[in-house]
């Protein structure tokens, strides 16, 4: 199931418009190229809608949002929706400031997103219109664990129901679901949290997978999440004694670049709930 998702992306490509933060943008561009997609970044109101129109998918990432780029997010998001393009929202740091939470909520109310991808705190923040986020990482209390898994799954389904989007809450355990079905994914490695940008990269990867597999947004999102986690495992296994997060960052891109459909299928650790 996941194998063909990866292979469709490599075969068909996917041009993804990213309105994203300047912290991780280079890694976002390179992971798209690693997976078989291609990036365009454009965040001026004077061209945001026009650039989106020539792409297949759009990622709105509010990581370093500002007054100017927020305007472009709405222009691009509405145009993408109008054209039936894949749209992914990454509400980075929602809950950490009123500007972030408010912008994410307004985006959700005006644009019908295909996928929302964040950590569980961010998903809670955009769901509740409230919630607490510490920085851009899930609060300890908000961490999905084996103990609170049933509740978390129910929560994902409810957010998906409410928003009409596929919801991906990623962390130690990743949950990817719509209103009826949730993939519980146990790929990945803790070292992924020792580099910046794994979340941003994943959101872009999701956009590319869904754009290349438009008939199956839930499965394509799950495939991208599994691919990222598996890449983290591969990267980790490659680390030598003297390697740190500098090496890990490179190995992660390399792992996405070299991943085959077979390896993705074989390496996937998930259950459906």
180 vs 240 by CB, closer to a second copy: 240
7 vs 254 by CB, closer to a second copy: 254
Q: Where are the alpha helices (DSSP H) in the chain?
A: 2-12, 25-35, 48-53, 67-82, 98-110, 120-128, 149-163, 198-212, 217-238, 245-258, 261-267
Query: At its nearest, how many Å lie between a second copy and the CB of residue 103?
Result: 9
In the sheet that holds 115-118, the strands lie side by side as: 38-41, 15-19, 57-61, 86-90, 115-118, 166-169, 174-177, 182-185, 270-272
49 vs 153 by CB, closer to a second copy: 49
45 vs 149 by CB, closer to a second copy: 45
Query: At its nearest, how many Å lie between a second copy and the CB of residue 193?
Result: 8
Query: At its nearest, how many Å lie between a second copy and the CB of residue 32?
Result: 8
Task: Match 């991906």 to its residue by tokens.
Answer: 168
The DSSP string of 126-145 is HHHS----BTTB--GGG---
- 272 forms beta bridges with 183
Query: At its nearest, how many Å lie between a second copy and the CB of residue 160?
Result: 28
Binding residues for a second copy (CB under 8 A): 15, 21-27, 29-30, 33-34, 38-47, 50-51, 54-55, 63-68, 93, 96-100, 134-137, 193-197, 238, 241-247, 249-258
């Amino acid at each position: 199931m996941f194998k063909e998702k990866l292979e469709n992306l490599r075969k068909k490509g996917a041009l993804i418009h990213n309105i994203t933060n300047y912290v991780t943008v280079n890694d976002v561009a390179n992971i798209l190229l690693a997976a078989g997609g291609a990036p365009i970044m454009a965040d001026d109101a004077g061209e945001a809608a026009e650039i989106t129109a020539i792409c297949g998918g759009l990622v709105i990432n509010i990581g370093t949002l500002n007054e100017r780029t927020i305007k472009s997010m709405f222009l691009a998001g509405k145009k993408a929706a109008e054209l039936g393009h894949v749209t992914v929202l990454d509400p980075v740091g929602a809950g950490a400031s009123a500007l972030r939470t408010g912008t994410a909520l307004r985006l959700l109310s005006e644009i019908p997103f295909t996928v929302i991808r964040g950590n569980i705190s961010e998903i809670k923040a955009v769901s509740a219109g409230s919630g607490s986020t510490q920085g851009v990482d899930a609060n300890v209390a908000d961490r999905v664990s084996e103990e609170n898994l049933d509740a978390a799954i129910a929560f994902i389904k409810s957010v998906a129901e409410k928003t009409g989007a596929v919801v991906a809450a990623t962390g130690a355990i990743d949950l990817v679901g719509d209103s009826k079905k949730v993939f519980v994914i146990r790929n990945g490695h803790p070292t992924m949290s020792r580099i910046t940008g794994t979340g941003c990269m994943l959101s872009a990867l999701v956009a590319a997978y869904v754009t290349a597999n438009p008939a199956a947004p839930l499965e394509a999102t799950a495939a991208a999440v599994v691919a990222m986690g598996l890449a983290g495992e591969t990267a980790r296994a490659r680390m030598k004694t003297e390697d740190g997060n500098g090496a890990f960052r490179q190995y992660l891109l390399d792992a996405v670049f070299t991943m085959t459909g077979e390896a993705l299928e074989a390496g996937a650790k998930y259950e459906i709930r």
